[in-house]
Amino acid sequence: MNEKDILKLSARCGYPSQQAVALKNEASGREYWRLIQEDASFILCFLDPQKGSHAQFIKIANILLKHQINSPKVLDSFPELGITIQDDLGDMNLLKVRNSIDYEELTLKCLDLLIKIQTIPNLNIPSLESADLLNQMMLFSEIFCNQFLDVKVDSSIEQLIEKTSSELSTQPYVNCHFDFERRNLILSERNEIFVIDFQDLSRGPIGIDLAGILLDHYRLADHDAITKALKYFQEQSHFIDGPNDAFELFRWGGVQRNLRILGVLSRLYLYEDKGFRLMDMPLILQNLISIIPDNWACKEYLIEEIEPKLKNKLSMI
């Protein structure tokens, strides 16, 4: 979609605007645009109706608001056009916070918000089954390695995926945003954090969202800061008791998440010609390596075989 198309659609929806500014594209195919009027602005989200629906997003948005969880209000919906109109929360997502002190303070606020989401009772949402989580990790082998890098993975990667699958099956299952990262958290002018892009909310292993916020795709993993944040989370959350070590929950959630995302970004490039996040791959891979136990063979394999091939591949694109 281009600005002209969006302005035509917004006028059809009763939101005639002077300007439409593209904000971001998502792996889901959603496009976000800011509609600018003389005295107001709104966020228009477009998703081709042939590819999906906003129904789940709207359902979850209403639930979050009911439980006083900061999130965008859906002002209007036009299913036949694939459009929702939402509050404009501004541009200050948490990736733009550079001060290290603010970064640490906001991380704890994010964990408070995450706990509120995890503890919403009686949600009728899908559950991430073990087979789903396993298939998502297999994207790393089948798409990222085999097709994107033209590398056949060795048995150590298969062992890593099997171990991760086993570990996730024993984790507490909670309400899981499934993409609880700084790109999807907005800081308001009143210093409140709002969560967005929650249409994939499911019941899932607790470690996946912990990894989303603590294993940043755009920042080298700081294990001291991660340990400190996990200690805070463990003190605040009733989901983790003595036998459950918070770092292990985070570790295996992070392995699943980073394997999955490397596969998804490769698939977007290969099958949809969307390369807008290819340059994130090296840091995603580096942070994945950093949380794998030191004595695992796959760690050496990823460093010596996969990292150089990724660097070479990206240099040719």
CATH classification at residue 238: 3.90.1200.10
* Longest CA span, the chain: 60
Whether 12 and 102 share a structural domain: no
- The pair of structure tokens assigned to 115 is 């706990």
User: Of the candidates 64, 86, 108, which is a domain's last residue?
Assistant: 86
Instruction: For residue 48, give the CATH number of its domain.
Output: 3.30.200.20
Residue 232 shares a structural domain with residue 200: yes
Q: Where is pLDDT greater, at 134 or 276?
A: 134
- Final residue of a structural domain among 35, 60, 86: 86
Average pLDDT for 138-144: 98
pLDDT at 103: 85
Same domain, 59 and 132: no
Section 287-316 average pLDDT: 97
What per-residue confidence (pLDDT) applies to 242? 64
For tokens 């755009």, the residue is: 218
33: enclosing H helix or E strand: strand 31-36
Helices (H), 92-205: 100-118, 130-139, 155-169
| Residue 75 vs residues 100, 121, 230, 289: alpha-carbon distances, Å | 35, 25, 36, 43
The tens digit of pLDDT for each residue in 234-289 reads 999 988 876 568 999 999 999 999 999 999 999 999 999 999 899 999 999 999 99
The pLDDT value recorded for residue 101 is: 66
Say whether both 21 and 113 belong to one domain.
no
Q: State residue 243's pLDDT score.
A: 57
The last residue of one of the domains, among 27, 51, 86, is: 86
- CA–CA dist 103, 236 (Å, integer): 19
Share of the chain above pLDDT 90, in %: 91
Q: What is the pLDDT of residue 144?
A: 98
Shared domain for 105 and 74, answered yes or no, is no
Q: Are residues 298 and 194 in the same domain?
A: yes
pLDDT in tens, 150-166: 999 999 999 999 999 99
Q: Are residues 73 and 156 in the same domain?
A: no
Give the tens place of pLDDT for each residue, 48-102: 999 999 999 999 999 999 999 999 999 999 999 999 999 999 999 999 887 766 8
Tell me, what's the pLDDT at 100?
A: 65
Could you tell me the two tokens for 232? 């805070």
Q: Could you tell me the residue range of the domain that residue 186 belongs to?
A: 94-315
pLDDT of residue 39: 95
Q: What's the whole-number average pLDDT of the chain?
A: 95
Same domain assignment for residues 62 and 121:
no
Q: Which of 65-79, 94-108, 113-127, 302-316 is the least confident region?
A: 94-108
Query: Collapsing DSSP states into helix, strand and coil, what is residue 187?
Result: strand
- pTM for this prediction: 0.94
pLDDT digits (tens, 9 = 90+) for 207-219: 999 999 999 999 9
Q: Same domain for 134 and 257?
A: yes
Q: Domain total for the chain?
A: 2
Tell whether 249 and 307 lie within a shared domain: yes
**Do 63 and 208 lie in a common domain?**
no
| Same domain flag for 292 and 202 | yes
